[in-house]
Amino acid sequence: MKSFTRGLALLLVLAPLLWSSCASLVDDLYTMKTLEDARKAAALADQGVQAYNDRLVVAADYSSLDLVKKYFVVALRYDPANPKARQYLDKVDSFRTATVTTKLKTVAALDAKKTRKEEDDIALFAALGVAALLDPSNPEVQRLEKEKADAKKTLVVVIVNRIAGQDSKKTDKSSVLELEDIYVGVYNDATKVVTIDRTNPDGKRYLTTARDSLAKLLAKRNDTIKAALEAGAYEAAAAELGTFTTLNKKVAGAFTPETQAATYEVYFHWAEALQKKKDYANAKVKIDIALAARRTDEALAIKAGILARNSQGSKVLTFELSLAEVDRGIDSGDLAQAKRNLEALAATVKEQAKLDLLEARRQRIVLALGALYEKGQTAYRAENFKTAIQLFQSIVDVDVDYEQASDYLDKATSKQKLLDQFSGT
């Protein structure tokens, strides 16, 4: 009985301590869980912001909108007070609303045209497709989809039949150049089909087949480039690279990473060889081209070595090297720099033969401006204002009075600002 009494007394003494300890433990566990949830929410919100900028704002990948939104939805489940998640959840919804409104306006504007080219119809159906993807229950979207269904189907059939006709030209005797032309045509038309109807099985099949076929042809060209480099035949490697680059341009840059990689390899190894020969002026031109394609430590090291051994740098460039700088600017699309280099070079020469060479470059720049202008108009009509701004700005940087480039630039800039206000970017 006495032992029981002593035990009960001890329990009464320790009870407050035990309860205090349990309460502290519960508080600590709750605090740890709260902090961990807050960290998860912050990490998800940061990933969501990156996805929002990369996928929606830059890439205009509308199909990923719901995926981007989920980052912020889940972040708020972990931490309902996270301000960034709340802010960007609203931004995603605003982006959806603004984009649908813009695309419907594009459809209306194109539909109002008395005569439309195929590219206009493609832009119309592309805009309607985006609106349907983002807001399928929208009454106006549903009405337009029903109204345009037959016309859309007809256009897809026309393009698919055209693809089939191109594809049927392949034979066992087709040359590499003939195959490239066929696959380029198939690829570009298949791109149009999936732009009109992203789920079209024929378009997806032809697009995949053409891209795979072009990739194999480019791989063969790349093998030829590597063989030329191993043999020290740098001019031949550059010539083959030119066909590689041209093909990439024909398919709207679908193989840009591969093209940049090949460009880097050619001009890096060329510069390396010229450096060993102590031809530092030519080596500098080549390594600059390599660096424009890909900035690596090894290329930067070569340039540093060239500059260290040739303190005069660009001052020793001959007319031919300076002309190569102009060509590089034209080929890379930096027309403004190409024109500046051209005019600076023109001020230093008087021989008619050299002036004729410079005039030929001026004509190349003019032709390049024409191509940019057409692309800018296409982007503007499709209400891809960011691309239009970049293209028209490139033109104005070269020639402020070129056609209506300045007017288009002002209009595209104004309309993009309105879109940014809607989307909160």
HEC profile for 297-352? HHHHHHHHHHHHHCCCHHHHCCHHHHHHHHHHHHHHCCHHHHHHHHHHHHCCCCCH
Tokens at 304, concatenated = 């540093």
Rounded CA separation 190/209 (Å):
10
pLDDT of residue 217: 93
Domain positions in the chain:
27-109, 137-231, 258-317, 318-425
pLDDT of residue 315: 44
Rounded CA separation 178/366 (Å):
29
pTM of the model: 0.64
pLDDT of residue 314: 45
pLDDT digits (tens, 9 = 90+) for 396-414: 888 888 888 888 888 888 8
Residue numbers in the chain where pLDDT is lower than 50? 2, 4, 8, 10-14, 17-19, 30, 312-316, 424-425
pLDDT digits (tens, 9 = 90+) for 217-254: 999 999 999 999 999 999 999 999 998 888 888 898 88
CATH match of 318-425 with 1.25.40? yes
Which amino acid, residue 228?
A: A
**CA nearest 160: which of 204, 211, 103?**
204
pLDDT of residue 233: 95
Question: Do residues 156 and 88 touch, judged by C-beta distance below 8 A?
Answer: no
pLDDT of residue 53: 84
First to last CA, the chain: 79
pLDDT of residue 34: 60
Rounded CA separation 131/14 (Å):
69
Q: Indicate the DSSP class of residue 255.
A: T
Q: How many helices (H) and strands (E) does the chain have?
A: 16, 0
Question: Do residues 182 and 174 touch, judged by C-beta distance below 8 A?
Answer: yes
